[in-house]
């Protein structure tokens, strides 16, 4: 296989959101997007005491023009939105929400998790929508861990195919943009060779350290590898003594202007202003707490 080379090694910057630590490798000053992927937040891991304070507690807020996706690695989360969707995520689950023309939602640690306590960790990813899909009807996909296909690559390497297709195995999520979202797990000493469509942009977010690319260089935890479009796949291997995890993201570039303002991602400033007006006029629906 002709392996792609790494164009940028992007360490995540630490942000504080209340008592929660969030690590952001995208966007950065060097790379504003890996089209169609706009933003990646790795939250936690954070220890939560039983009956303590919710470290997540993202109250009702609007979105338009893209798809916010949450990969939950540890803990429990409750989702609720203005389309009457309620979802409860446990470790290994994924929620794929299409904001489209407008939705209001909240994400909080689930009641059951807060009662028992434990560790909370996850990733939120923002996936752009093409201009023709910016105003589609909102959609919520609650993907349970048991329903996400797993491909065993052998030698201690496994991939959960959340979206897209891996060597003939289709992912669980329906997407508007042609893309792949693969959750890779590598046992100590394991190697993964992954084919990627030649027309896709590609990035790999390393949740844990000790993962090396085909260049042979080890990388620390919370690092995004942004690849050049100069090969048909990538090789990652675990040089450490512990199991390592990575989120592999590839997608066909949309190639359109991106204008964003807070929770809105559109193509023009006029569309941003319209989104703000529509939200103020109640056109995103009405959020009702349970």
Q: 3-state DSSP helix/strand/coil percent for the chain, to nearest 5?
A: 10, 55, 40
Position 287 in a domain? no
- Output the pLDDT for position 205: 98
Position 290 in a domain? no
- Domain boundaries, position 85: 6-280
- Output the pLDDT for position 290: 64
Position 258 in a domain? yes
- Output the pLDDT for position 17: 82
Position 261 in a domain? yes
CATH number at residue 12: 2.60.120.10
Position 88 in a domain? yes
**pLDDT digit string, tens, across residues 217-235:** 789 999 999 999 999 999 9
pTM: 0.97
Query: Which of the residues in the chain have pLDDT under 50?
Result: none
Position 288 in a domain? no
Burial code (b: 16+ CB inside 10 Å, e: under 16) for 138-172 equals bbbbbbeeeebeebebeebbbbbbbbbebeeeebb
Q: What is the number of structural domains in the chain?
A: 1
- Output the pLDDT for position 145: 98
**pLDDT digit string, tens, across residues 139-198:** 999 999 999 999 999 999 999 999 999 999 999 999 999 999 999 999 999 999 999 999
Helices (H), 4-131: 111-116
Position 266 in a domain? yes
Contact between residue 176 and residue 131 where contact means Cβ atoms under 8 Å apart: no
Position 285 in a domain? no
- Measured between alpha carbons, how far is 56 from 89 in angstroms, rounded to an integer? 13
């Amino acid at each position: 296989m002709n392996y792609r080379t790494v164009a940028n090694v992007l360490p995540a910057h630490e942000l504080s959101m209340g008592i929660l630590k969030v690590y952001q490798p995208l966007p950065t000053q060097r790379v504003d997007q890996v089209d169609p992927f706009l933003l990646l937040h790795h939250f936690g891991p954070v220890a939560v005491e039983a009956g303590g304070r919710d470290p997540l507690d993202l109250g009702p807020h609007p979105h338009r023009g893209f798809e916010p996706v949450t990969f939950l690695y540890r803990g429990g989360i409750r989702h609720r939105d203005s389309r009457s969707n309620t979802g409860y995520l446990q470790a290994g689950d994924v929620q794929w929400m299409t904001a489209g023309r407008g939705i209001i939602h909240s994400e909080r640690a689930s009641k059951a998790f807060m009662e028992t306590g434990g560790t909370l960790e996850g990733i939120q990813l923002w996936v752009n929508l093409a201009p023709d899909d910016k105003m589609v009807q909102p959609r919520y996909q609650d993907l349970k861990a048991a329903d996400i296909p797993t491909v065993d690559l052998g030698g201690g390497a496994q991939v959960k195919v959340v979206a897209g297709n891996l060597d003939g195995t289709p992912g669980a999520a329906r997407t508007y943009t042609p893309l792949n979202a693969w959750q890779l797990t590598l046992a100590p000493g394991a190697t993964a060779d992954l084919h990627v469509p030649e027309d896709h942009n590609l990035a790999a977010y390393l949740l844990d350290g000790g993962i090396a690319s085909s260049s042979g260089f080890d990388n620390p935890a919370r690092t995004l590898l942004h690849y050049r479009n100069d090969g048909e796949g990538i090789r990652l291997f675990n040089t450490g003594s512990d199991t390592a995890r990575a989120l592999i993201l590839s997608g066909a570039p949309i190639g359109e202007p991106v204008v964003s303002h807070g929770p809105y991602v559109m193509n023009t400033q006029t569309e941003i202003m319209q989104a703000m007006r529509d939200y103020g006029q109640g056109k995103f629906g009405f959020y009702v707490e349970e």
